Amino acid sequence: MTNLARASFKAIRKRDGRLVSFDLGKITEAIFAAAKAVGGTKKELAKLLAEKVYFQLQSTYQPGQIFSVEDVQDVVEKVLIEEGHAATAKAYILYRAERNRARTAQLGIMDAIESSLQETDRENANVGNCFSAKLLKIAEIASKAYYLSRVLDQEVGDMHERGDIHIHDLAHYSTTLNCLQVPLGKLLAKGFNNGHGFIRSPKRPGSAGALAAIILQSSQNDMFGGQSYAFFDRDMAPYFEGVEEKECFQAMEAFIYNLNSMHSRAGAQVPFSSLNLGTDTTPAGRMVTKQVLLAFEKGLGRGENPIFPNIIFKLKHGVNFDPGDPNYDLFQLAMRVAARRLNPTFSFMDSSFNAPYGDQVGYMGCRTRVMGNLCGPEVTDGRGNLHFTTINLPRLALKTLRAGEGIESFEAQLRKVMAKVIAQLLHRTDLQGRQKVKDLPFVMGQELYLDSEKLSEEDPIAPVLRQGTISVGFIGLAETLVALVGKHHGESAEAQELGTSIVSLMREICDEAAELYGLNITLIATPAEGLSGRFTKLDQKEFGVVPGVTDREYYTNSFHVPVHYTISAYEKIRIEGPYHKFTNAGHISYVEFSAPPLNNLNAVETLLRHMSECDFGYAGINFPVDFCEGCGYTGLVQDECPSCGATQIRRVRRITGYLSTEERFNSGKAAELHDRIGHISCER
C-alpha cells in the first residue's frame, strides 16, 4: 500500500466534465458487485484486483494526464479477463452497459424536457402549447423513460426505440385505457357522479346536451384515448320528445360549442369526441340528428369550422341509404354538411363484416371499431380498445431487400415480430388489469365499462377488461410493396395481391392468438400521426434513402394508396376496399377533393355508393377548409383573404380521422398534407 500512497495521479474526470478524487474503494465495490452476481463471496479478492487496476493505470500515466471514468472501466475489464475471472468480467460488462443505457436515457429525458419547455411536440394535433400541455408532456417524457427502463422486457423496449415497432401511448402503459364507446342512454337515465356530487337525470333538452358534453369530458379525464357515443340520436331522443326544432337546435349548438371549448386531461386538450347517428327513425331521434347536423353546418360563433365532435353518419339500406327510406332526407343533409365542413364521415352498416350486427356497429373518428367479443355480448356500448402497438412493415421489407431474400423471408420475419407484439400486448393488459376501480373513478366507478357494476371500489379491473380489445397495427403497406416487388398496390395487380396477402396473414395471426388466449386480439389499420414521420427518420438512418420507400418524410397511412399518386377516386376505392374486412379493430379510407364539393353532391353520393359496393366499413371525404380570422370569409384562400386582404387564415384539414388546424400538424403529417392531390379530378 506504500506505492499507492505515492500515486502520481489523484483525480478522475467524470462524464459531465467534473474532476473528483480518485477512490480505489469505488473500484473495489464495483468488482465485488460483479463477482457477487456470479456467486463470488471474497471481498479481499476484489480489493486485490482493484489494486491491479490501479497499477495498470499508473504504468501508462503521463505527467498532467487525467484519466476518465471510461479509461478506468476499460482497465477493470482488461484486468478481470487477464486474471482469469471471465464470468465476473461478463457481469461487469453487462452492469456497465446497463448503467450507460440508464445514463443515456436520463440525458435524453433532460433534452426532451428542455425542448418541451420551449414548445410541445406535435405527436397529437389536439394538444396545444399551453402551460398545462407542457406539464403533461414533461410527465409523459419521464413516464416513458420509466416504462422503457423498468417495466418493459429489454428486447421489446429496444424494438420500440429503434423503430421495429411503436407502443402507442407508452407514457400511460399500465395506468389507464385507450378509448370507450360511452353508454350515454344509461348515464342520462340514472344520473352520475363525476367527483363532486350526484348529477340527476336531465329534464330538458338543454340539460341533456350539457350533460352529454360533461360525460365525454369526465370519461376522457380517466383515459388516454377518445370517447364516443355509438347511438347519439337514440340515446338523446327521450329528452327531445315534443320539443320544437328551435329548442333542439339551441341544445345541439351549445353541445358543439362545449366540445370545442371545454378542456380535459389537466386542461391540455378538448375532448376527443365522436358521435354515431343516423339510424333512429323516431320523430325525436330524427330531430336530434337533423339539428346536430345543422348546428355543425352553421359552425362556431363567427362561422369557424368546428373541430369536434367527429360525426359518423351510419348508412343502412332500408333506413337511410335509398330514396324512400325514412331517413333518406337526413342522409342528403349529412352529405351537404360533409361537403362544407368535412364532417360527418360515413360508416357502412351493410358491409360484409358489419351486416351481422344490424345498425349496432359504432366507429370513432380516429377509425377504431369495437364489436366482436369472445368474452361476452357482441355490443358496442360500454366497450373500447385497451391499447395497440404498430409494426413497421417497411422496415421488415427493407431488411428482406438488404439480405437479398424473398417474400417467404419477409413473412417469417413478420410472424416473429407479431409474436413479440402479441406477448407485449398481453403484458400490458395484465398490468392494466391490476388497476382498481377507484383508479378510474368515472369510467369504472360510475359503471361506464361493461360489467363494471359487478366490481367494488377496491377490486382490480381485470375481469371487465376482457370485454375490450387489444390490437396489432401496421403502417406503410405501400412502401413495403415497393421494397418487395418494385411497385405499390395502386400501380400493380401483383402488388395488390401481395398486399391483401400480407394483411390477411396479420389478421389470421391475430385470430389464432385470440382463440389461444381467449381475448379480443384484433388488427387495426393504424391511425399514424406522430408515428408516420418517426419510423421514416429511423429507417432513413438505418437504410439510407430508398426510392419509393424512405424518400419522403412519412410512411403512407396503413393500407392506403399513397396520397401523392395520381389515381381516380373509383380506382382508389376499389383497391382499398378489400382491406377493410381484415382490419376488424378499425379502418378508414378517404377520397380527396381539391375544393369543397358543395355543388357536386351527386358525385359524393355516387362515391359513397361505390364504397358500399366495394365493402367499405368507414370513409370520409377530404378537401381544404380555409377561414379568414379578419372578416369570416370561408373558402379556398391562398396567401391572403380575397374579401378583406387579411393574412390570418385558419386552415382546417383532416389529419388521421379527426380535424385539426394546419399549424398543429407535425413535420411528417405536414409533408403528407403538402403531397395530397385530388382524386375526383382524375376520375374515369
Of all helices (H) and strands (E), which one includes residue 292?
Answer: helix 283-298
pLDDT of residue 421: 98
Q: Is 249 in a helix, a strand, or coil?
A: helix
pLDDT of residue 68: 87
Q: CA-based angle 531:532:534, to the nearest 5?
A: 60
pLDDT of residue 293: 98
> How far is 348 from 573, CA to CA, in rounded Å?
14
> How far is 627 from 635, CA to CA, in rounded Å?
7
Residue 92 pLDDT level (bands cut at 50, 70, 90): confident
pLDDT of residue 604: 96
> How far is 647 from 561, CA to CA, in rounded Å?
34
> How far is 480 from 398, CA to CA, in rounded Å?
8
- CA 153 to each of CA 158, 220, 333, 371, 385: distance values in angstroms, whole numbers, following the listed order: 9, 29, 52, 31, 23
Asked whether 478 and 489 are in contact (CB, 8 A), the reply is yes
CB atoms within 10 A of CB 627: 24
> How far is 335 from 326, CA to CA, in rounded Å?
16
**Over the stretch 121-179, which tens digit does the pLDDT of each residue have?**
555 555 555 656 677 777 787 888 889 888 999 999 999 999 999 999 999 999 999 99
All residues at 6 or more sequence positions from 617 whose CB lies less than 8 Å from its CB, including other chains: 347, 348, 351, 353, 354, 361, 363, 369, 580, 581, 587
Q: What value does the mean pLDDT take over residues 204-218?
A: 97
Query: Per the structure block, which three cell numbers stand in for 655?
Result: 389529419
pLDDT at 398 over 90: yes
Q: What is the mean pLDDT of the chain?
A: 90
Amino acid letter at 90? K
> How far is 433 from 470, CA to CA, in rounded Å?
13
Query: Per the structure block, which three cell numbers stand in for 168?
Result: 402507442
Quick check: pTM over 0.85?
A: no
**Over the stretch 320-346, which tens digit does the pLDDT of each residue have?**
999 999 999 999 999 999 999 999 999
**Over the stretch 277-321, which tens digit does the pLDDT of each residue have?**
999 999 999 999 999 999 999 999 999 999 999 999 999 999 999
pLDDT at 104 over 70: no
pLDDT at 635 over 90: no
pLDDT of residue 483: 98
Between 666 and 427, name the one with better pLDDT: 427
Asked whether 20 and 67 are in contact (CB, 8 A), the reply is no
pLDDT of residue 35: 84
pLDDT of residue 353: 98
pLDDT of residue 2: 42
Amino acid letter at 299? G
> How far is 647 from 637, CA to CA, in rounded Å?
9
Please report which residue ranges of 376-472 form alpha helices under DSSP H. 393-402, 407-433, 462-465
All residues at 6 or more sequence positions from 242 whose CB lies less than 8 Å from its CB, including other chains: none
